[in-house]
């Protein structure tokens, strides 16, 4: 993992204002269009996204690179797992 990837994601997704399950559904859809190894930056305000994204990334094999809470906006950096 390099810092450039986190600072310059390949794709950004704004799910602020959406509640469960919409942030996770939008993340899954966005990841399907992203190349393996690409980094997506997701912004969410739903507190449940912390658990939802963590479990999803663990089960799907997508590395969760970083999570930041910026005044109630959760910002996630996720790297798409290689296709198997």
pLDDT tier, 49 (very low <50, low <70, confident <90, very high otherwise): very high
Quick check: 2 pLDDT over 80?
no
Which residue ranges form the domains of the chain, and what is each CATH number?
Answer: 24-84 (3.30.110.40)
Distance CA 35, CA 71 (A): 31
Question: Any idea which residues carry the catalytic annotation?
Answer: 20
At 11 the pLDDT is: 97
At 83 the pLDDT is: 79
Distance CA 36, CA 32 (A): 9
Distance CA 34, CA 48 (A): 24
Quick check: 5 pLDDT over 60?
no
Quick check: 1 pLDDT over 60?
no
């Amino acid at each position: 993992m390099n810092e450039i990837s986190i600072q310059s994601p390949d794709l950004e997704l704004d799910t602020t204002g959406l509640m469960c399950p919409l942030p996770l559904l939008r993340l899954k859809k966005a990841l399907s269009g992203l190349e393996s190894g690409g980094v997506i930056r997701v912004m969410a305000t739903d507190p449940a996204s912390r658990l939802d994204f963590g479990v999803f990334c663990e089960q799907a094999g997508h590395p969760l690179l970083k999570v930041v809470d910026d005044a109630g906006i959760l910002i996630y950096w996720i790297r798409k797992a290689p296709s198997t």
